[in-house]
Structure formats: structure tokens, C-alpha cells
A and B are shown apart, each in its own frame.
Chain A
Amino acid sequence: MSETVSPVMFLILAFATIGGAVMMLSTRNVVHAAFWLLEIMVATAGLYLLLSAEFLALVQVLVYAGAVSVLVLFVIMLTLRRREDAIRPYEPSWAGTIIAALFLGALYMAITRFVPVIAEMPEKVPGVADFGREMFTTWMLPFEVASLVLLAALVGAVWWSKGGDGR
């Protein structure tokens, strides 16, 4: 059963991720783009789950789909004044076309020269407890530094928004 379910699930989730990215970039409305971004984040969480990376999937749903997308929507709400501001202008240009063609060429070269190294899946997938033990011993310092990064973001936002009291 597992041999048939996983490829099908992978195809569905890959389609949801790439299709969502295409929709996000092609929609004219920034609010719609934010919701497509949310869809991409949830589909990516599904891909992680397919790799048995349960904690990563949890982080993806809780932090990215739950919090970062809220932050993106807040920024949109804070910056738009009128409904018309939400519509991005459509401005095709030769410079953009050339850059896109160059990027496509570089991407094609990178993909054709890529030699895939398929990693061996471990017999036993490490659980959340193993992850926690590793994080709180080997990666103790980066873990504490993460709190400082969050503190800097929080203090910065509070300090920055103080100027906006009257508005």
C-alpha cells in the first residue's frame, strides 16, 4: 500500500505547491497572493510529513502558516489605504523578459548538470524527543541566540510603532 500511496500524495502536494506559487505570482491582488502563500506553506508542510519530518511539518503549520502569514496579512492591512492599492499594476517590459530568460537558462543548465545523490533513509526515524535532546545539548547556544533574535524583532517593532501613536 505504501508504495502506491506516497508517490500519489507527493504528486498532489507538489502540484499544490508549484501551482500555488504560480497562482501567487500571477494574481493581481496582493491579498489573494497572501492567501496563496498560505496554501503553499500548508502544502509544503504536507511534503515534510511525507518525509516523516513530523516536527518540521508542525513548525511549518504553526509558525509559517499560522504566524508568518498573519504577519504578511497585517503588513498588507497596515500599508493599503484604499481597495485599489491592493491591485498590482501589470507592467511588462523588455528588461524583465530578458532577466526572466537568463534566469530560465541558468536554471536549465543547473538542472541538466545536477547529479542526484539520493540519501539513504534511516531505519528508524528520530522522534521529537531525540530532536529535543540534540537541540538542548549540541545546539544549546544557537537555541538561546534565537531568543535574542526574537527579542530584537519585538523591541524593534515596539520602538518603531511608538511614532505612530497619533494616527
Chain B
Amino acid sequence: MHSVSADHVVLATFIFVGVFFVIATLSASHLLARSKHDEAKLSTYECGSEPVGPPWVQFRVGYYVYALLFVVFDIETVFLYPWAAAFGQMGIFIVVEMFVFIGILAAGLAYAWKEGALRWR
């Protein structure tokens, strides 16, 4: 087994505080708040407006493009991290490489834009 570094202790503390905060606030509201449910209270919350129709509706397939765009550029961001770390030792070559990568993804974004997939309807 290898050693546990100080970073791991910080991370463990962070996770512990995060989990503890959720449990503490939820149980505090459970203990302190009155639990009296009526029809208006149990209805779906839609930013204060009267809810229209059932909350379980089928969403338009166009939203899938937004999710996929998020995935694609999330992966790009992940690759940028080792790229930035190795940047200092590598020179111009690595810049060209990353620009090709981003360029290919940008072509996909341009296609989605051209087809109107990014228009909010």
C-alpha cells in the first residue's frame, strides 16, 4: 500500500463536510418544520406559477442535442487538462495538435448551429 498524501486528507475532509451538510440540513428541516401536507403544498413547484398538466411529460428529442453537446465539450475540457500540464515541455507541436482536435469539434458545433439545433423553441 502506498502512502496517503495530504491532498487525500483534504479531499476526504471536503467530501465529509459535503455529506454532513446535506444530512444536517435535511434532518434539521425534518425536525424543525411542521409537516402538514395539503393539496396545494404537494403540487409540483413551477417557479410559483400554477402547474399546467402532469409533471411527467415526454420531452422533445431536440433536447438530446444539448446533452450531447455538453458531453462532447466536457470531454474536450478533460483533454485540455493534461494538455495544459504538458504544455511547457512540448512547444508548438502540441498547440497545432490541440487546434486540430478543437477544430474538428468546432465543425460539429457549426453543423449543429447551421441546422438550427441550437435555436430555443
Contacts and interface: CB of A to CB of B under 8 A. Distances in A.
Contact of B97 (A52, A62, A143): A143
Contacts of A6: 1-2, 4
Interface in A134-155: 135-136, 140, 143-144, 146-148, 150-151, 153-155
B115 to A, nearest CB: 5
Q: Which of B54, B60, B64 counts the most A-chain CB atoms under 10 A from its CB?
A: B64
Contacts of A110: none
Interface size class of A (residues with CB under 8 A): 35 or more
A154 B64 contact: no
A58 B74 CA distance: 12
Contact of B86 (A78, A132, A157, A159): A132
A66 B98 CA distance: 23
Contact of A49 (B8, B62, B84): B8
A135 B78 CA distance: 13
Given A55-B82, A62-B77, A164-B60, A154 B69 contact: yes
The binding surface of chain A is classed by DSSP as: helix
Nearest to A160: B61
Nearest to A125: B2
A56 to B, nearest CB: 11
Interface string A117-143: 000010001011111110110001001
B65 A143 contact: no
Contacts of A58: 78, 81
A48 B14 CA distance: 18
A159 B117 CA distance: 9
Contacts of B79: 143, 146
A22 interface: no
B17 interface: no
A127 B67 CA distance: 31
A164 B1 contact: no
Contacts of A5: 4
Contact of A67 (B65, B75, B111): B75
A59 B60 contact: no
A62 B2 CA distance: 25
17 contacts: A6-B2, A62-B74, A63-B75, A67-B74, A78-B59, A80-B58, A81-B56, A83-B54, A83-B56, A127-B85, A130-B86, A131-B86, A135-B82, A136-B94, A150-B104, A150-B108, A154-B111
